Chains A and B, each alone.
Chain A
């Protein structure tokens, strides 16, 4: 079963535009992580935000977390064609429970 649910399912933008993806989840978490997956490849970790953090930055990535709304967003600024991939959020629960992934957002950046 998947806890996180990304929105939108698919997103198509022009190069240089910003891309925003959202993730909602149901139960309390210890942390929330975002991963990228290029077609036919494994997932690559992008960023981890802990439940006591509200915002985190890494290069062109900005992640926010609102635990009261049980939601997170991933913003990619000044997108590039190379950002074309599927993006997944994954929630890490309290206790020693493994990450639960959402269904992902498919991002297409058109040059």
Chain B
């Protein structure tokens, strides 16, 4: 596709439910990133993949958060037993090269609301 695609666009979950957020990066992009953005704040880093390898997951807030990119393309961010504090916009980004500090191309995000 032309850009980074994320689905769903909006997700409402009851507290305790598991959710899965999907990201389709730009075709051929090596690196993929997940960021979390609270209302009125800047994006906060969650995790980073280089192809299928998860090189950095230092930003994942708890072991309820899990991300994968099994074939080095599409990525899924899973949140188990969602809590109200998980409510945020989850942004996916990809970059052409393998370094983590290059120009990023962002998707429109998934807005997660946990009730």
Q: Which A residues contact B (CB, under 8 angstroms)? A: 1-2, 4, 30-31, 33, 35, 40-45, 48, 88, 92-93, 96-104
Residue of A nearest to B45 (CB): A98
Would you give the 0/1 interface string for B80-94, flagging 1 where the beta carbon is closer than 8 Å to chain A? 000000000001010
In the complex, the answer to whether B100 meets A98 with C-beta atoms within 8 Å is yes
A97-B101 contact in complex given A42-B109, A44-B106, A103-B41, C-beta closer than 8 Å: yes
Distance of B37 from chain A, by nearest CB (Å): 9
Interface size class of B (residues with CB under 8 A): 20 to 34
In the complex, the answer to whether A99 meets B101 with C-beta atoms within 8 Å is yes
In the complex, the answer to whether B91 meets A43 with C-beta atoms within 8 Å is yes
Distance of B14 from chain A, by nearest CB (Å): 24
In the complex, the answer to whether B42 meets A2 with C-beta atoms within 8 Å is yes
Q: How far is the CA of A43 from the CA of B83 in the complex (A)?
A: 26
Of A88, A98, A104, which is in contact with the most chain B CB atoms at under 10 Å from its CB?
A: A98
In the complex, the answer to whether A45 meets B45 with C-beta atoms within 8 Å is no
Q: How many A-B residue pairs have CB under 8 A?
A: 67
27 contacts between A and B (CB under 8 A): A2-B41, A33-B103, A33-B104, A35-B104, A35-B106, A41-B109, A42-B4, A42-B91, A42-B108, A42-B109, A43-B43, A43-B91, A43-B106, A45-B103, A45-B105, A88-B43, A92-B101, A96-B99, A97-B100, A98-B33, A98-B56, A98-B100, A99-B104, A100-B45, A101-B44, A102-B42, A104-B41
Q: List the B side residues contacting A93 at CB < 8 Å.
A: 101
Q: Which B residues contact A (CB, under 8 angstroms)? A: 4, 33, 35, 40-45, 48, 55-56, 59, 91, 93, 99-109
Q: List the A side residues contacting B103 at CB < 8 Å.
A: 33, 45, 48
Q: List the B side residues contacting A30 at CB < 8 Å.
A: 101
A2-B101 contact in complex given A42-B108, A42-B109, A44-B106, C-beta closer than 8 Å: no
Q: List the B side residues contacting A48 at CB < 8 Å.
A: 103
In the complex, the answer to whether A103 meets B42 with C-beta atoms within 8 Å is yes
In the complex, the answer to whether B101 meets A96 with C-beta atoms within 8 Å is yes
Q: List the A side residues contacting B91 at CB < 8 Å.
A: 42-43
